[in-house]
Structure 1
């Protein structure tokens, strides 16, 4: 019969692997909980009136920078937004390299699929 190879170092590495797998599972649960929380917050936020597309903004280095392009009624757009036209939204996506929101997918509405 063939015995399984083992050493104290191998046992330590297997222990470390089990610990890391548990940590990964915990991190995945935290991510799921945060996504659920974000969905709940987005569901409670009132829908904005009318604009077709908006740019959401974040503060970077003390300055406001465009973060993503959203369809106007996207609840994940945040509260710092600027209404833009279809052409401005297309330019932001195609030329300026501003990403499209992964939830409302304005690139699909604009015909710019990656």
Structure 2
């Protein structure tokens, strides 16, 4: 007999190699799927724990006692130094002559007319 493997032996060897590579590729894909499922579950948990958005904002100046403006919770320009406020706090701030945002008009939404 020759020292060369037969065609059948080579085909069986090739099959084993392909099977090993496919098994490794499937394990890698399963790992990626598990990781993505973990990330998705983590995002859902974070959304569930997120506090509800503020209904009103009060924008403060550099001096924290200085109130600059009152904004609705959905205002697109509430400033960086804002704090969430209740409806009553927003009304009180407007009564104290704090400026109402000219973009979101919280004074109209609150029914605050002078």
Counterpart in 2 of 1:110? Answer: 110
Q: Give the CA deviation at 1:113.
A: 2.9
Q: Does 1:76 align with 2:69?
A: no
Which structure 2 residue ranges, 5 or more long, are not aligned?
A: 1-51
* Structure 1 gap ranges (5+): 1-48
TM-score, normalisation: structure 2: 0.51
Q: Which residue of 1 aligns with 2:67?
A: 66
Q: Distance in 2 between matches of 1:108 and 1:77?
A: 16
The whole-number CA distance in structure 1 between the counterparts of 2:70 and 2:82 is 9
User: How many residues align structurally?
Assistant: 62
Root-mean-square deviation over aligned CA pairs: 1.3
CA deviation after TM superposition for structure 1 residue 84, in Å: 0.7
- Tell me which stretches of 4 or more aligned residues in structure 1 moved more than 4 Å: none
* Structure with greater helix percent: 2
Q: Secondary structure at the match of 1:113?
A: coil
